[in-house]
Amino acid sequence: MGRLDGKVAIVTGGGSGFGKATSLLWAKEGAKVVIADWVAEGGEATVKEIKDAGGEATFVKVDVSKPKDVRMMVKTTVDTYGKLDILYNNAGVGVVGNLVTEITEEQWNRCVGINLTAVWLGMKYAIPEMLRQGGGVIISTASICGFTVSPGVSAEYNAAKAGVIMLTKTAAADFAEQNIRVNCICPGHCLTPMVEKWASGNEEALNEVHRRQLIGRMGRPEEIAQAALFLACDETSSFITGEALVVDGGHTIVARKGYINKK
């Protein structure tokens, strides 16, 4: 028996990184997974991988920063599978650094729209469905950048991720009595396609980031997926809500000097 047998879940950004790893794991544990992503190629590839392994999945092309797309995503899920038990607000974009005074309005709005507004939209349209069925679970991807400044990371990203943490706590307080648990995960440095894009093939830069982690390496998407499974499963986390679970290999407990600057 899988730990998520009978559950229906949405994973935004399910075509790569944390979202793909989580979708594969949740499907393995018995969930029916709706893969929501802006990049159809990645999302459809995740669905195929799940189906090839004997699981159930559906792809929906979504711009998570647009209300009409998020409404459609939730409606498609309920129309297809009859309910919605778990929402993982995971889609995001990374930003490498400008000074506060150098950020353009377009850069700010895009980053905040995808990393924060989309999380609110997911909650706004998923929670009414969960209320109708008597409860549910919401998980969002925040970041250690939500409570500590990382050199080279731009202010709009830090602000958006801090907002995800407080939005999580507020939503948890709003709906705890209605049996809806709301938590977020704060990953540290992990080897995702976003980080690989930042490195642009610079192995020296990647090796330096690995070395400067407290445990000597960056995290893997599969390790974040395990944290998401823990928070999604009532057997393991039924008494946890409003929390920001840090999964960072100890990065935030020790001040490290000499962060690499790829430039």
C-alpha Rg value of the chain to the nearest Å: 18
Secondary structure class of 48 (helix, strand, coil)? helix
Owner of token pair 């004997």 = 54
For residue 241, give the nearest of 188, 135, 178, 168 by alpha carbon. 168
Q: Which of 81, 125, 157, 259 is catalytic?
A: 157
Q: How many CB atoms lie within 10 A of CB 241?
A: 21
Whether 222 contacts 160, CB under 8 Å: no
Owner of token pair 């950004």 = 13
The Cα–Cα gap between 18 and 138 comes to 15
* Structure tokens, 174: 């709003």
- Examine the residue annotation and report whether 157 is marked as an active-site residue of this protein: yes
Whether 120 contacts 171, CB under 8 Å: no
Looking at the annotation, which residues are catalytic? 157
